[in-house]
Amino acid sequence: MQEIPVHENIEGLIFDLDGTIANTMPAHFIAWRDTCKKYGIDFTKELFSQLAGIPLYGTVEKLNEIFGTSIDPVKMGEEKEDIFKASLGQVKVIEPVARIIKKYHGILPMSVGTGGQREIAKETLRVVGMDKYFNILISADDIKNPKPNPETFLKCAMLMGVLPEKCQVFEDGILGINAAKEAGMKPVDVTNYYQVTIGQYLDNH
């Protein structure tokens, strides 16, 4: 498998979490699918792709828009997170990204910028053995404007003490890639360097 490149003159590395450091996307899909079923919503893989990168409660608000429902975002969101947390122990690290993290740990400042909630993000990092590499984590709880707004990544850069244009962002979603571009950073789409599809995961679960 080809190594993920780190560009020249980069002084700080920022990593998305879900689908970038940790292969959580299949588990997130199953959690949304099973929760939506209770509300009479058919949550397809296409819909999941369309909503990828939107924070928890914002996803429920989008579902309400799409299906004309009036589901309580907090109630449904918490039901979904409970299902997700129950499967968190099975989540694996994404190896090409883990290699970058280990290689540059102690060499360049690094941070995590995720659209997920802080406590679940911290637990995800712990489960995949990556928590010891990061002391900067910006989550949905720390910002007002989620991706594709650049606020998440700009806060990461500020806490690392690195200019935005000197940061490289590792992402798997279009909202995050657009946020990195908007911040003036250099994004890399990690999905070009690993392959675990939701379909393959569902075949085994």
pLDDT at residue number 199: 57
d(CA 134, CA 56): 23
Say yes or no to pLDDT of 203 above 70.
Answer: no
Ordered by where they begin, the domains of the chain are: 12-23+92-195 (3.40.50.1000), 25-89 (1.10.150.240)
By CB atoms closer than 10 A (0-12, 13-18, 19+), residue 76 is buried
Residue 85 tokens, joined: 């947390």
Alpha-carbon distance values, 96 to 20, 36, 65, 102, 167 (Å):
9, 33, 37, 10, 19
d(CA 65, CA 43): 14
Q: Is 16 a catalytic residue?
A: yes
Q: What is the DSSP letter of 19?
A: T
d(CA 74, CA 117): 13
pLDDT at residue number 198: 56
Q: What would the pLDDT profile of 79-125 be if each residue is shown by its tens digit?
A: 999 999 999 999 999 999 999 999 999 999 999 999 999 999 999 99
User: What is the side-by-side order of every strand in the sheet holding 12-15?
Assistant: 137-138, 110-113, 12-15, 167-171, 186-189
Amino acid 33 reads R
d(CA 45, CA 192): 19
Say yes or no to pLDDT of 64 above 70.
Answer: yes
Question: What average pLDDT does this structure show over 70-74?
Answer: 97
| Averaged pLDDT of the chain | 93
